[in-house]
Amino acid sequence: MAAAAPPPPPAPAPSAPTGLPDSDSTPVGHPLFSRIRLATPLDIPHIHKLIHQMAIYEKLTHLFTATESSLASNLFKSPPFHSFTIFLLEVSSQPFEKDTNFHSQNFTPIEKIINLDHSLIDPEAETFTNGINGDVVVAGFVLFFPNYSTFLGKPGFYVEDLFVRECYRRKGLGKMLLSAVASQAVKMGYGRVEWIVLDWNVNAIKFYEEMGANVLPEWRICRLTGPALEAYRDAL
Amino acid sequence: MAAAAPPPPPAPAPSAPTGLPDSDSTPVGHPLFSRIRLATPLDIPHIHKLIHQMAIYEKLTHLFTATESSLASNLFKSPPFHSFTIFLLEVSSQPFEKDTNFHSQNFTPIEKIINLDHSLIDPEAETFTNGINGDVVVAGFVLFFPNYSTFLGKPGFYVEDLFVRECYRRKGLGKMLLSAVASQAVKMGYGRVEWIVLDWNVNAIKFYEEMGANVLPEWRICRLTGPALEAYRDAL
């Protein structure tokens, strides 16, 4: 689809743990270890499933025609950040093993521990496990690519999709994904990060505005697709 | 800027020439030879001037900070169509000399003859001549780059800017530029061409709809820029 999936509203600040404090008063929480890393071609089956879930969430499955094969033929063809780029969000109840495969010159994975009140049950854990690193599961992704502002005379990033699986929403993970893109844009000297939102999605708009974004009220998207686009094959 | 400049309304069908028909009834017109070719780094001074004119047209000169140098450092870094790409529109009162420099594996220039009722005076001809090929002047440009639809599982093109200098408007040249992008998208098997338009610009909306585009009413652009973006430098 052509839009960032509306993210969950901002995660509430972690509340006090419900368990009793232990002897040295360390909060007894349920840590959720989260990691953002660059996706690789091996992640395509999970990415495909996440996009399908996004289509269901947005009631747009009739527009969903991507296959693992079509994704494989178009993604991961350029170095990260120069074309279509995917950050994958993984979570685990255990600390991540240091996987140097995911460290590259381009991007060092971002890790963050989120303290939950309750342990979390992921009904799809088996579908989204990577089958290698213990209980690591894929929880979401963000797909973005460079765009260009002629007025600024420099590139930016356009965020096409942002998605977090249902059981991981409202924990700050959507914000973590979008922040990772914004942080990368700043590091590269880029001038903007842009995405789109449905005008009736007031929760998402509030969330984005709290993240510092402006919603531009006057611009509308024009789209030429399907037979209307095909008609231009030999138009000139 | 972040948007396709509103193009001129569609060119009216060429009306009957005002001069008398000559002996063999060939219309006595004023042909305007037009050509679309890939821009090169040598075109940057003209491109910079065109962008500045666009900023004036849109009353957005306060947002215009691009310099020839910033454009040079960001454009023409990838093969055409794989990243930021510019089609340049040139016009001449004489047929174009065959310039094989502009023929590449990627794109063969598109030429079209437009019959005008009157000869045309370009008050900025000297500024926009390329100084090499007789009276060839740069009349406009379109800047576009690949975007990606996860639902389609394939790329498209996003048109960032479309601009035709004032004295060349209402002759079908804006349509010719946009058609060239659409045609290229079809040839590459891409699924969409998208751009944005101001909601109050009813002439532009009508023009785009006549070209087969749909205007999506519900989506709004979110933009993170300036200090609000800078704040994400070390956000994670």
Condensed to tens digits (0 to 9), the pLDDT of residues B104-113 reads 778 999 999 9
Asked whether residue B76 carries a pLDDT value surpassing 90, the answer given is: yes
Asked whether residue B19 carries a pLDDT value surpassing 80, the answer given is: no
What is the pLDDT at residue A155? 97
Average pLDDT, whole number, for chain B? 87
Query: Cβ of B74 and A153 within 8 Å?
Result: yes
Q: What is the dihedral of CA A92, A181, A206, B198, to 10 degrees?
A: -150
What is the pLDDT at residue A135? 87
Is the Cβ–Cβ distance between B155 and B190 less than 8 Å? yes
Mean pLDDT, residues B131-136: 76
Q: What is the DSSP letter of B129?
A: B
Mean pLDDT, residues B109-119: 94
User: In whole angstroms, what is the distance from residue A53 CA to residue A46 CA?
Assistant: 11
Sheet holding A30-38, edge to edge: A110-116, A30-38, A85-92, A137-149, A154-164, A192-198, B219-225, A214-216
Task: Tell me the helices (H) and strands (E) count for chain A, helix number first.
Answer: 6, 8
pTM: 0.86
User: In whole angstroms, what is the distance from residue A68 CA to residue A40 CA?
Assistant: 13
Contact residues on chain B for A78, CB-CB shorter than 8 A:
82
Q: What one-letter code names the amino acid at B140?
A: G
User: In whole angstroms, what is the distance from residue B213 CA to residue A150 CA?
Assistant: 23
Q: Nearest Cβ partner of B151 from A63, A158, A220? A: A63
CA atoms in the 13 A half-sphere facing the CB of A158 = 23
Query: Cβ of A216 and B220 within 8 Å?
Result: yes
Asked if ipTM goes beyond 0.90, one says no
Higher per-residue confidence, A10 vs B172 = B172
Lookup result for tokens 């003859």: B113
What is the pLDDT at residue A110? 96
User: In whole angstroms, what is the distance from residue A229 CA to residue A221 CA?
Assistant: 16
Is the Cβ–Cβ distance between B233 and A181 less than 8 Å? no
What is the pLDDT at residue A10? 40
What is the pLDDT at residue A58? 85
Asked whether residue B11 carries a pLDDT value surpassing 70, the answer given is: no
Q: Which residues of A are catalytic?
A: 208
Asked whether residue B8 carries a pLDDT value surpassing 70, the answer given is: no
User: In whole angstroms, what is the distance from residue B182 CA to residue B221 CA?
Assistant: 23
Contact residues on chain A for B84, CB-CB shorter than 8 A:
146, 148, 155
Residues in chain A with pLDDT values less than 50: 1-27
Higher per-residue confidence, B112 vs B119 = B112
Query: Cβ of B228 and A212 within 8 Å?
Result: yes
User: Would you mind telling me the total number of residues written for chain B in this entry?
Assistant: 236
Q: Which of residues 46-105 of A touch B (CB under 8 A)?
A: 51, 54-55, 60, 63-67, 70-71, 74, 78, 82-84
Asked whether residue B39 carries a pLDDT value surpassing 60, the answer given is: yes
Give Cα separations from B225 to A190, A212, A215, B14, B160 (angstroms).
9, 8, 12, 45, 17
Query: Cβ of A236 and B194 within 8 Å?
Result: no
What is the pLDDT at residue B15? 37
